[in-house]
Amino acid sequence: MATDFTLNGKPARFEGDPETPLLWVLRDHLDLTGTKYGCGIAQCGACTVHLDGKNRRSCVTPVSTVAGKHVTTIEGVTGKEAAAVQQAWLAVNVPQCGFCQSGQVMSAIGLLRVKPRPSDADIDNAMAGNICRCATYVRIRQAIHDAAHALEG
């Protein structure tokens, strides 16, 4: 059975079990390995993508549920928030080992789209589902604030 959806602005199709997690489809079938497998049970956030513009854990998203929808991954995310987050991440030098960072970046972009001037509490609440075993949380929070300031400017 085929599932058709839009992936990073282009038509995409998966022919296989409709219960296959979107993360498996992205990494194993479409070779988009920027989205990471961390826990597989929606506990770590490493697999975060955007589904119709909103943050979504792809490891618990059966591909059938994205039929007809827009999926954006770290490879294809664009726009002013994405640019600001990328610049801030570089300037603050956020990553340590880097494994969780594509999920962190996607969640940060998703936050800034709905909350352009987030407080510390807003950031903590929005990023609570993204785990970083290197504990880069302070730099993540700083980079999100910096990206928000840049977007204001």
Partner 1 sequence: MLAASAVLLLAAAQHAPGLKPVSAFAGIADPAARSVAIFEEMGKVIRHPRCINCHPRSDRPNQGEDGHPHMPAVTRGADGHGAPGLECAACHGPRNVVLTNGTGSVPGHPDWRLAPRSMAWEGKSLGEICRQISDPARNGGKSLARIAQHNAHDGLVGWAWNPGPGRAPAPGSQAQFGALTRAWIASGARCPG
Q: Please list the residues that pair with 50 across neighbouring strands.
A: 55, 72
| CA dihedral for 102, 35, 129, 109, sign (positive or negative) | positive
93 counts as binding partner 1 under rule CB under 8 A = no
Smallest gap from Cβ 145 to partner 1, in A, equals 14
Out of 21, 38, 95, 103, name the contact with partner 1 by CB under 8 A.
21
41 counts as binding partner 1 under rule CB under 8 A = yes
**Shorter beta-carbon distance to partner 1: residue 78 or 125:** 125
Stretch that binds partner 1, among 7-15, 28-36, 57-65, 97-105 (CB under 8 A): 57-65
Total count of residues recorded for the chain: 153
Out of 35, 38, 46, 57, name the contact with partner 1 by CB under 8 A.
57
Where in 105-134 is the site for partner 1 (CB under 8 A)? 107, 110-111, 114-115, 118, 122, 125-129, 131
Q: Which residues bind partner 1 (CB under 8 A)?
A: 19, 21, 40-43, 45, 48, 54-57, 59-62, 65, 107, 110-111, 114-115, 118, 122, 125-129, 131
